[in-house]
Amino acid sequence: MKEEPEPTIIWDRFLVVFREKYIPQSVQDAKYAEFYRLKQWGQMSVTEYEVEFTRLSQYGKHLISTENLKARRFKEGLHPDIRDVILPIRLVTYTDIVDRAMIVERNVNSRKKFTEKKKRRFDNFDGKKSSDFSPKKQNAGPSNVGRQNNNRGNKVPRCNTCGSFHSGECRKAAGTCFNCGEGGHMKRIVLNWCELERIRYH
């Protein structure tokens, strides 16, 4: 296809000639700029970043002309959470950088999952109603409260005959009506607690 054929041609040279023939220079420049700005952003994994790095690297061969330059450029494009762990480690080859980045990525993802799980558990605990943890009130019946309050407030002694708190003559011992105090009849049915209290103390 060339006016002046080359006697011997290696694969890398063939790719250059092929691109010159079939890929416009404007497209090659755009791919070079894309490779130059390539970073591991967002949710991109190390594997996805490595695939893109390999695909676009053919348009920026001079940037990765040696194994050391290739490894360093790949490392500089890694996500900060991964790059900061790898930087102190002396890794020269591109393969070592890629392998170590994948290991660090797994560790970082594991820590994130643990932190998110712990946060969800805390939010669920914190979101419960305070009433769920408040102590239940004791159900004190009106009989206990009334007797205690009347006993303390009125200082009425307990009757030895009927066992109730009242003053004066015990109507049970006298056989008189609990309601009116007269003889000949006796009101034995008390309609409610308030009436019982009224009968006892009045």
Segment 131-160, tens digit of pLDDT: 555 555 545 444 444 444 444 455 677 787
Domain boundary among 105, 122, 139: 122
pLDDT of residue 191: 46
176 part of a folded domain: yes
Tell me the C-alpha distance between 18 and 2, whole Å. Answer: 10
Query: Mean pLDDT of all residues in the chain?
Result: 77
Tell me the C-alpha distance between 121 and 70, whole Å. Answer: 44
Burial class (CB in 10 A: 0-12, 13-18, 19+), 196: middle
**Pair 43, 108 in one domain:** yes
pLDDT of residue 140: 45
H or E element that contains 101: helix 94-126
Please tell me the number of Cα atoms within 13 Å of 11 on its side-chain side.
1
Burial class (CB in 10 A: 0-12, 13-18, 19+), 11: exposed
**Pair 160, 98 in one domain:** no
103 part of a folded domain: yes
pLDDT of residue 36: 95
Residues 6+ apart with CB under 8 A from 8: none
**Pair 18, 61 in one domain:** yes
Residue 162 domain boundaries: 156-201
**Pair 107, 191 in one domain:** no
Number of domains in the chain: 2
pLDDT of residue 179: 66
4 part of a folded domain: no
**Pair 24, 91 in one domain:** yes
165 has which bridge partners? 158
140 part of a folded domain: no
Please give the radius of gyration of the chain, using alpha carbons only, rounded to the nearest integer: 47
Going by pLDDT thresholds of 50, 70 and 90, the confidence category of residue 190 is very low
Nearest to 47 by CA among 1, 112, 98, 120: 98
68 part of a folded domain: yes
Q: What percent of the chain has pLDDT over 70?
A: 69
Provide the residue count of the chain. 202
In 17-65, which ranges are E strands? none
Domain boundary among 122, 141, 170: 122
